[in-house]
Amino acid sequence: MLEWTFLGTGAGTPSRTRNVSSLALRLPQRSEWWLFDCGEGTQHQLLRMPHLRLSQLTRIFVTHLHGDHFYGLPGLLASRGLALGGASEVTIHGPDGLGRWLNSTLRLTGNRPAYPIVNDVVAPGWSLTELGFTVDVCQTDHRTESYAYRIREADNPGAFDIQKAKADGLPPGRLFGQLKAGEIVTLPDGRVVNGADYVGETKRGRMTVYSGDTRPSDAVIALATGADLLIHEATFHASEQVQAEKSAHSTSREAAEVALSAGVKELIITHFSSRYDPEPADVGIEMLLQDAQSVFPNTRLASDFQRFSIERPTA
């Protein structure tokens, strides 16, 4: 199961119903998970999500150095080394300066986690391949150096048709392995056999893009083209267009326009201003969803503690 869990879906400051930005990616058939952004209070949110054990957290990806996206790191890392467990290495990926800030904070507070913490600087062109996934970035249009992350699963080769191979009189053993790999093999009797004739259709890997904070961006559209899921910020309603431009954020309608341009299958909007939380309100959170769906119907609204699974495409 490839599953996203939203731990914080608010922008700037926490509200009564939403914490600040953080979301977790649970990897299929593995006892580990990755964290994307870590706003203040993320470790408290995790206490309500027993399927996400801190001891199994291996990588943290930070989009940019605004506090609502990374101030939760020191507390979370400290807790991981205490009663909540965790002795394995954690790698933190993020913009230049994140590692220096974190190391200074841990040193000045006397916090010495008993496990290795590796700091990795993200920059344009950065890429990571790990556990059958490739993570790529693009720089977004925000007030500071900021990145969107694309998480792309490797394609799954089609199943090898053993019965067909046996029916054609092909000898098992090493030959089957070559054919399963798609190789063209010449048999001792002179026959030339193409492995593609014995392997089913390749199953395309799943792909998600997480925008971080950004104005609508051609770079994000390019990164998300053809994605199964785009998780895009939608800080403001369309009626707050001027404020969105001033603060370098997106409206819900603009997020939907990005999804439409990228040809993604599904859009989840997140990172909402706390002005939309009080009920009743002149503009409520559901109005952001309606605004987005008027452009891109297959849009969902993220809420804290919601879990979304992505099924592997059938073709």
Which sequence spans correspond to the domains of the chain? 2-156+203-310, 162-198
pLDDT value for 281: 65
Confidence of residue 84 (pLDDT cuts 50, 70, 90): low
Mean pLDDT value across residues 176-195: 83
pLDDT beyond 80 at 123: yes
Mean pLDDT value across residues 117-143: 96
Query: Which residues, 6 or more positions from 300, have their beta carbon under 8 angstroms from its beta carbon?
Result: 266, 267, 268, 269, 289, 308
In this predicted model, what pLDDT tens digit does every residue of 249-302 receive, in sequence order?
Answer: 999 999 999 999 999 999 999 999 999 987 666 778 999 999 999 999 999 999
Backbone region of residue 164 per phi and psi (left: phi > 0; alpha: psi in -120 to 50; beta: other values): alpha
pLDDT value for 82: 82
pLDDT beyond 60 at 315: no
Residue 262's CB is within 10 A of a number of other CB atoms, namely 20
CATH class of 2-156+203-310: alpha beta
pLDDT beyond 90 at 1: no
Model-level pTM? 0.89
**Which residue, 38, 75, 41, 24, is CA-closest to 302?**
24
In this predicted model, what pLDDT tens digit does every residue of 206-255 receive, in sequence order?
Answer: 999 999 999 999 999 999 999 999 999 999 999 999 999 999 999 999 99
Q: Are 190 and 226 in contact (CB under 8 A)?
A: no
pLDDT value for 257: 98
> Which residues are part of the catalytic machinery?
68
- The overall average pLDDT reported for the chain is 92
Mean pLDDT value across residues 72-79: 94
pLDDT value for 86: 67
How far apart, in Å, are the Cα atoms of 18 and each of 50, 68, 163, 256, 278?
19, 12, 55, 22, 11
